[in-house]
Amino acid sequence: MSKLKNSYLLTFLGLLLILLTSCEGMPGGDARKNPPDPKLRVKKNLEEGKGFRLDNALKGRKGKGGDFMFASANELWRASLDTLDFMPLASVNYSGGIIITDWYSDGSNLDESVKISIRFLTNEVRSDALDIKIFYKKCNQVASCKISQKTGPLSAELKKEILNKAAVYKKQKKDKNFKEYKGKVSAQ
């Protein structure tokens, strides 16, 4: 019987060793943004909604599926859709990370229209997260049209507007998830 206990113990220790060494390649946090004291780190993470709380995990989960927010959780995605809400959308693919509008004309000049394509390069709210392309279509009366891609101030203004809205959404999400940590924190 003691040989069986020893083999279970060795198996457990072996699995524990494998699990601990496999965590080696995981990305760490930025030491400049996190306090060195573990109790303060726990407090900060829980207040920002990054921690795991048993009271939230057990609250109202009987008979329900998971909580899915999909694209509404991505601040850049929401900000882009809100910014382009006046334009008809031709293609919207969250998993592919692209929004393409249909041709749009404001009515002042029916011979000219614009189409916007936004490709998401990352989910982080930063200036290089979006690739915005703007296409212009100019037609004459006989319906021969010329389509061209232009870079200019409109693309930069659009990116600025989206990033500003995304930053506001991110702050609102952070404020909403903030819960004061009521545990004890030792002052050193």
Q: Hey, where are the domains in the chain? A: 72-174
Residue 55, pLDDT > 70, answer: no
What spatial distance separates the first Cα and last Cα of the chain, rounded to whole Å? Answer: 50
C-beta of residue 73 within 8 angstroms of C-beta of residue 170: no
Q: What is the pLDDT of residue 66?
A: 44
- pLDDT over 90, % of the chain: 20
For domain 72-174, the CATH architecture is 2-Layer Sandwich (3.30)
Residue 158, pLDDT > 60, answer: yes
C-beta of residue 98 within 8 angstroms of C-beta of residue 117: yes
pLDDT by residue (tens digit) across 12-32? 888 877 777 655 555 556 667
pTM: 0.56
